[in-house]
Chains A and B, each alone.
Chain A
Amino acid sequence: MSENYRKWPMVLFLGVLTTPLILMYVYLFVDTVTNTPPGAILPNEFTLEHWRFLHENLPGRPSIWLATWNTFMFATVTTLIVLAVSSAAGYSLSRLQLPARSFFLGGILVLHAFPTVTLLIAIFLILQMLGLYNTLIGVILVKISLELPFGIWIMKGFYDTVPWEIEMAGIQDGATRFQVWRILVLPQVKPAILALGIISFLAGWSEFILPLVLAPGNDVQVLSVYLAALIADDNNFDMNLFKSVGLFYVLPVIVLFVFFQNKLMNIYSGGTKG
């Protein structure tokens, strides 16, 4: 960037604006291993008692490990299916002759921008009718369906950037369109698959409303619902405990964020979900 303007006022100004946010995150870490006397700002003792939920069940709550397993299954299965389905459909929309192709494309685009939560009530009733209410499978199916338009659109965008000549060359070399896709094109969009995988996993891991409405039972509870129920329970108010559970919950997210930050930034800026 240009040397003609001073930079430090910018840094200072934004630093001040960002302080509350940084404070919130710093205290998230600090409070999980310390106690703070009432009315004080700074903690005065180190403790691990807030992490007791790891080895004992909290009152009225299922095991944290069951909830973690459920969350992991929910996020992983959703991610894998979203990847498989959207890499196939994205290719189809990007490159293949389809009847009513522009209808499909328009449809995906509308769904992509479409406010999915408005359909929650109907989805709730559908799952009730199908007997999938309060099952992990049911909420996974719903989550996949709601993520697909975004996934397909992103994948289509990446397929669009693969040179046509690669595919033409493949066809001349004697490959079928299916072989062209599987052997020649899929390896070119690996970065997209990785990025979409991370996004889907994060979305699944963080999802709250869907499991809350569609699978609230203790056996199928995920961490977001677990934590929300913990916080909502007025009899056991313990902010440091909440934060510890929260930190436990957010750890995989932080790890992914640290490792794949740039990828995430790229795809978020390409996406449109707000």
Chain B
Amino acid sequence: MGNSKHLGLILLAPAGVFVILFFLAPVVLTAIFGFTNMSTATGISGGAYVVNESTMRALGERFGERELAGRLLRKSYVIDEAGLQAARESGAEQATIEELREKYLGRNFESRRQIERLLKKLDNRPASIRAIKKIAASFERSVVNIRFDSPEELVAAIEGYGIVLSDAQRQALADVSYTGWVFTTQNFKTMMELPDTWRTMANTLFYVFSTLILFNTGFALVLAILTHYMPEGPAGFFRSVWLLPRITPPVLYVLMWKWLAWDNGFLSRMLEPLGIAPRNWLLDTPANAWTFVILINGFVGASMGMLIFSSAIKAIPQPLFHASEVDGASRWQQIRHIILPQLRWPILFITSYQTLSLLTSFEYILLATDGGPGGATEVWALAAYKKALSNYGGALQYGYGAAMSLVLVVIGVVLSLIYLRLFNFKALTESPKIEQ
């Protein structure tokens, strides 16, 4: 391992495997899935060709083959070796079986009554009506709900029951009976057409920019500057307290807000003596819901900016502060002329990175309002998640959800590349100093 080129690749390889498998592959697959109609109905593996109520309805509606559809859904009866075998196993007399094989092998019947009539007429007639029904069942054939891997197999099975199909019928059958997913651009058309889409987008923009401006940068700046003008003790205390929301697991953190906001909660109890009726502040009106969504996310987001801004302020040389004070600067002037200019890059940095993470975060909203009331706080990432992965009806639209995610993926990649340029990538990639 003297050669560092090989060692470098070896050391990088495990990370590469993980990242490719669960990071890059998902990116690519999101793009692919976004152009499919994949859902719980289609399944996620390759599809099959199935005759069932819904495919046959489609056959009738799309191709006018109502009669064929009806026939395929009905059971038919065929006297063949497999059926004879089944009949023997169900207890039919050997003589009955022999007679059926000799005289009627290969005959088709369109209904149970027809085959039962035949059985009654046999020389070796089964002893009881029950036996007749049992033997008749052995010859029952149906394509309904059987999964065929190819349209040819389906057609062969159908023709085996004596149903002759025209070429047009075969084509139509192959079209409608396929239950797997197919490639389509329908997702994006639907997205453009649905009014929900635009509302969700507006919600997302409102959520991202208000949280970003009010808390992730605004309040973070306030925290950083206030703690800067404090003795070390209280400053450390406040920084720790404001770090708590970030390290508290989201489920518990949101629970604490629910305790504050629900109709028997702390807020309601505090406000009751003032004549304000108890209510679930988290979900009673869109305005209140938004207030809490922004507060919940903002309290978490503020800590990040607070820490980065604080360390940037700490990096300002002390003499600069002393000099400005000797020059007679007020506190506000000191903030305005000494601190803020130094924070330009950190603010840009926080703004860019947190835009991206707010844009795609939905964990806290999911836990707090789940997009409610009535979709008022539904943001894009949450909508995508719900479409594809969480739906009370159980019909999950993977394809549509992936298409929605793809929009975020594209925005994410574009913004990331812009940040790379912005934050001087060249400086980070100085080449190694040992050339072996």
**Does A touch B (CB under 8 Å) in the complex?**
yes
The interface residues of chain A lying within 8 Å CB-to-CB of B419 are 113
User: B14 to A121, Cβ gap below 8 A?
Assistant: no
Main secondary structure of the interface of A (DSSP, over half): helix
User: B23 to A119, Cβ gap below 8 A?
Assistant: yes
Interface string of B359-378 (1 = CB under 8 A from A): 11111001100000000000
Shortest C-beta distance, B239 to chain A (Å), equals 7
The interface residues of chain A lying within 8 Å CB-to-CB of B241 are 18, 21-22
Complex formed: what's the CA distance from A30 to B381 in Å? 36
Given A117-B362, A274-B304, decide whether A85 and B255 contact each other with a Cβ distance below 8 A: no
Could you say which of B167-175, B243-251, B283-291 contacts chain A? B243-251
User: A202 to B247, Cβ gap below 8 A?
Assistant: yes
User: A89 to B249, Cβ gap below 8 A?
Assistant: no
Q: Indicate whether A77 reaches chain B with its CB closer than 8 angstroms.
A: no
User: A208 to B249, Cβ gap below 8 A?
Assistant: yes
Given A89-B11, A117-B381, A208-B250, decide whether A141 and B21 contact each other with a Cβ distance below 8 A: yes
Q: Indicate whether A263 reaches chain B with its CB closer than 8 angstroms.
A: no
User: A224 to B357, Cβ gap below 8 A?
Assistant: no
The interface residues of chain A lying within 8 Å CB-to-CB of B119 are none
Given A119-B30, A242-B255, decide whether A88 and B405 contact each other with a Cβ distance below 8 A: no
Q: Indicate whether A118 reaches chain B with its CB closer than 8 angstroms.
A: yes
User: B11 to A228, Cβ gap below 8 A?
Assistant: no
Give chain B interface residues in 274-315, CB to chain A under 8 Å: 299, 301, 303-304, 307-308, 310-311
Residue on A nearest B227 in the bound complex, by CB: A14
User: A39 to B272, Cβ gap below 8 A?
Assistant: yes
Contact of B259 among A24, A41, A124, A249 (CB under 8 A): A24
Contact of A109 among B311, B363, B420, B432 (CB under 8 A): B420
Shortest C-beta distance, A121 to chain B (Å), equals 4
The interface residues of chain B lying within 8 Å CB-to-CB of A54 are none
User: A98 to B321, Cβ gap below 8 A?
Assistant: no
User: B249 to A250, Cβ gap below 8 A?
Assistant: yes
Q: Indicate whether B44 reaches chain A with its CB closer than 8 angstroms.
A: yes
Give chain A interface residues in 174-212, CB to chain B under 8 Å: 176-178, 181, 202, 205-206, 208-209
User: A110 to B416, Cβ gap below 8 A?
Assistant: yes
Q: Indicate whether A1 reaches chain B with its CB closer than 8 angstroms.
A: yes
Could you say which of A2-10, A43-51, A56-64 contacts chain B? A2-10
Given A1-B228, A177-B7, decide whether A257 and B247 contact each other with a Cβ distance below 8 A: yes
User: B9 to A98, Cβ gap below 8 A?
Assistant: yes
Complex formed: what's the CA distance from A164 to B25 in Å? 36
Give chain A interface residues in 235-274, CB to chain B under 8 Å: 239, 242-243, 246, 249-250, 253, 257, 261, 264-265, 268-269, 272-274
User: B247 to A264, Cβ gap below 8 A?
Assistant: yes
User: A115 to B408, Cβ gap below 8 A?
Assistant: yes
Q: Indicate whether B33 reaches chain A with its CB closer than 8 angstroms.
A: yes
Give chain B interface residues in 7-26, CB to chain A under 8 Å: 7-9, 11-12, 14-16, 18-19, 21-23, 25-26
Shortest C-beta distance, B360 to chain A (Å), equals 3
User: B1 to A141, Cβ gap below 8 A?
Assistant: no
User: B363 to A209, Cβ gap below 8 A?
Assistant: yes
Q: Indicate whether A91 reaches chain B with its CB closer than 8 angstroms.
A: yes
Shortest C-beta distance, B233 to chain A (Å), equals 10
Count the B residues whose beta carbon is within 8 Å of the partner chain — how many? 115
Shortest C-beta distance, B327 to chain A (Å), equals 11
User: B358 to A105, Cβ gap below 8 A?
Assistant: no
Q: Indicate whether B218 reaches chain A with its CB closer than 8 angstroms.
A: no
Residue on B nearest A152 in the bound complex, by CB: B15
Q: Indicate whether A79 reaches chain B with its CB closer than 8 angstroms.
A: no
The interface residues of chain A lying within 8 Å CB-to-CB of B27 are 119, 122
The interface residues of chain B lying within 8 Å CB-to-CB of A213 are 389-390
Residue on B nearest A7 in the bound complex, by CB: B230
Given A1-B231, A122-B25, decide whether A25 and B244 contact each other with a Cβ distance below 8 A: yes
Complex formed: what's the CA distance from A109 to B426 in Å? 12
Interface string of B256-276 (1 = CB under 8 A from A): 111110101010011010000
Shortest C-beta distance, A127 to chain B (Å), equals 9
User: A265 to B239, Cβ gap below 8 A?
Assistant: yes
Q: Indicate whether B45 reaches chain A with its CB closer than 8 angstroms.
A: yes
Complex formed: what's the CA distance from A119 to B243 in Å? 28
The interface residues of chain A lying within 8 Å CB-to-CB of B45 are 129
Complex formed: what's the CA distance from A130 to B307 in Å? 41
Complex formed: what's the CA distance from A177 to B27 in Å? 34
The interface residues of chain B lying within 8 Å CB-to-CB of A261 are 240, 243
Shortest C-beta distance, B338 to chain A (Å), equals 11
The interface residues of chain A lying within 8 Å CB-to-CB of B262 are 239
User: A92 to B12, Cβ gap below 8 A?
Assistant: yes
User: A24 to B242, Cβ gap below 8 A?
Assistant: no
Complex formed: what's the CA distance from A114 to B353 in Å? 9
Residue on B nearest A256 in the bound complex, by CB: B247
Of B252, B307, B359, B417, which is in contact with the most chain A CB atoms at under 10 Å from its CB? B252
Shortest C-beta distance, A75 to chain B (Å), equals 11
The interface residues of chain B lying within 8 Å CB-to-CB of A176 are 1-2
Q: Indicate whether B161 reaches chain A with its CB closer than 8 angstroms.
A: no
Complex formed: what's the CA distance from A20 to B242 in Å? 11
User: A89 to B434, Cβ gap below 8 A?
Assistant: no
Q: Indicate whether B166 reaches chain A with its CB closer than 8 angstroms.
A: no
The interface residues of chain B lying within 8 Å CB-to-CB of A152 are 15
User: B4 to A96, Cβ gap below 8 A?
Assistant: yes
Q: Indicate whether B354 reaches chain A with its CB closer than 8 angstroms.
A: yes
Contacts A/B (CB < 8 Å), 24 sampled: A1-B230, A2-B325, A24-B257, A91-B11, A95-B434, A96-B8, A97-B436, A101-B429, A102-B425, A105-B425, A105-B428, A109-B428, A117-B381, A118-B405, A119-B26, A119-B27, A122-B26, A145-B23, A146-B23, A148-B18, A164-B433, A213-B390, A253-B247, A268-B303
* Leading 10 A-B pairs by shortest Cβ distance: A115-B360, A96-B8, A145-B22, A269-B307, A274-B357, A89-B15, A119-B26, A206-B249, A122-B26, A246-B252
